[in-house]
Amino acid sequence: MMVARFRKSFSYALGGLCSVFRHEQNFRIQVFCGCLVLFCAIFFQVSTVEFIFLCGASAFVLVLEIINTAIERSLDIIKPRLSEQVKIIKDIMAGAVLIGSIFALVVAIFIFWP
């Protein structure tokens, strides 16, 4: 019984990821960038610790983008017409994704530059 529930939960989560991938261009771009970074990490044979930092930074950006998408969709349901408050919240979330992306870029620069 517990395995069936776990499988069902996993299926829902995977469906959510597929939905975000299908409908969000920025997420697809970030997945591509993450794959590129991981390819470079393997190609340049970075250390295990560096690889973990690169994976963590990439995952951080993807999680932020998923949260951003969920909040934007929720706001569109609650308040379909763009109000000033909704615009500010969406801008704040976009800013959070931007900060996460800059952080990931800085991590990649520190690791790949030398």
The CA-atom distances, in angstroms, between 12 and each of 1, 48, 55, 76, 99 are: 17, 32, 23, 22, 29
Tokens for 64, please give them: 């932020």
Query: Quick check: is 50 catalytic?
Result: no
Whether residue 60 contacts residue 30, with contact meaning beta carbons closer than 8 Å, is answered with no
> Active-site residue among 24, 50, 65, 84?
65
For tokens 């929720």, the residue is 74
Could you list the active site residues?
65
